[in-house]
Structure 1
Amino acid sequence: MVITIHILATDDERLALKSLMNALEQVFPQAEICGFQKSQEALDYAERLCSENKISLDFAFLDVEMPEMTGIELAAKLKKICPEVCIFFVTGFTNYAYDAYRLHAKGYILKPVSAELIKEDLANLKKLPTFEMPIDPEPEKRVYIRTFGTFDIFVDQKPLVFSRTRAKELLAYLVDRRGSGVSLADICTVLFEDQSGKRANKKYAQNFISSLKQGLEKAGVSNILIKKWNYLALDIEKVDCDYYRFLEGDIAAVNNFYGEYMSNYTWAEFTVGFLNDKKSNA
């Protein structure tokens, strides 16, 4: 059975919106794609779809620099209406990466947009339902990740010890991203905050990536990482995680959440609010 995918796209420039819509139609030939040049019209559409018709909005591709209501502001409002929507920012600028991270955006696509660029950002996103497929028995996973309370990772039920605390924090960040890829700049933004632009910090970040890879290789689970040029992600299909179980509606995971999530890291506070809202509305 074909599952309809609902997609929202915005750009205040008519030709840019048309180009974005054409690219999306190539990637999602059977989806319902609605484009808007005004953010408020896009928000009104989402409210009708999600609140009135009880239909999920699957993806939102948002131009950042929009008049009256920016793409960042629109994304925040969309998240309240449709918490599960996958946000992708489309922009000609690179200085919105931190805002995109705060809103748990799944991608950050630089203009000019093409079907190939969209496919690259979607490559590791596990939310592209097209047909109902038979489900194979899930193999037992060697890696268990605990995020409620403090962050820890266990391999074959034994805690994994990291040689560098920043390498462990990097893995926590990848877990929080739920399979979405991050760049070196993204990593620096999270690990070094206001000093993320320093050249030395980029070198440190590369060392943390190497340390993380070495630690996972030593434990025999390096396959949970997906690494390409300037791209790093967690393969969420190869791990068991209380956070992911919570999002899937697992009762035990929901009951095990008491308002603390990766309390080791201040940047994880953004997800705490999201989880509290999900639990209160469950």
Structure 2
Amino acid sequence: MIKSIIVDDEQFTLDEIRDTINGFNELEVVEATTNPNKALEMIKKHDIQLAFLDIEMQGISGISLAEKMIEIKPNIEVVFITAYDNYAYDAFEANAIDYVLKPIRAERLEKTIKKILKIIKTEPEIKKSTLKVRFFKKFRVFNEVESVRWRTTKDGELLAYLLENVGIPIHKEKIIDKIWTDVDLKNALIYLQSSIYRIRKLFSKYGYEDTIRYANNSYIIKDIDIDCDLWSFNKYLNKKYILSDANIYEYEKIFELYIGDYLEEDAYVWAMDMQENLKHKYLRLVTNIGAYYMEKNDFNKAIEYLEKLIKVDPFYDEGIKLLFKCHYAKKEISDLKNQFTKLENIAQEEYGAYLTEEVVNYYNTLVKK
């Protein structure tokens, strides 16, 4: 028997929904109340799997009440009850968990109940499956079997934003300001709650429970056991390091994570600062690896790494000068000249700029020796 609860500030709506639910043998109404606080107490005491919530009640919105319920019971299914109102209708059409419109139509409510029952009954046995999350070049979430397909693009963007800020509580209005910039607050709150709901269900599907918490009007995602390129990259590069024979292999593996700029193809505005920060760490790493191999007199290996630096930033002077120095150390003056010409062309043709005076002067010093 699936236990349900109904919360609405209109008694006749409570009665209508309860009467319809009573027609389903698989469903039991544990409580039908106009009191949101009482509903929360019932959620704590009973294993309630389904909640029908009025989206606009006096004192608290259905969105806020759903957030509190999900905080107590992350896997609860939520159906919103709303008057025929454009903001709610449009929001749920684009971003539905599910909803029913007032005045209640029995056939629409029955359709909703059947849909929810099917979801609850067909939920597979959960087996933990390590998720892989990739931020470099494009945001992707997948495991060994499948890639996650987002119900809306904002679901993926929201998860990326939360994972970037892992362990940090973020106020819901700040999230809205970052993700739903051009949406009015009323609609944006609906979109946010709907996306949070689907992300929680996603994690639950792969065996991760209680991943997103809500308190003090803020959401926080835990440091969970996933394979995340961003977390691995920062784990190694957020600390001071000196490359050595003992750790060079590890740092070369970290180098390989950077297959493109951070969220490059997604082009999220809020990600720009992090993108620049990570790019600088990458350029520093490549330069350090190049210097490591140069000290080993493995100039070919050093050049191999340093040439990859050019593809990311042809104006990173420290790395460029080291690349020139490697060619000079190999006594490859013709290769040095070709490298300089190549860089000049890239700077002018792709960026409409010139190499810095520091780099040009360093090059001239080498070729005149």
TM-score scaled to structure 2, two decimals? 0.37
Q: Which has the higher contact order (CA 8 A, sep 6+)?
A: 1
Higher helix share: 2
TM-score scaled to structure 1, two decimals? 0.46
The structure with the larger Rg is 2
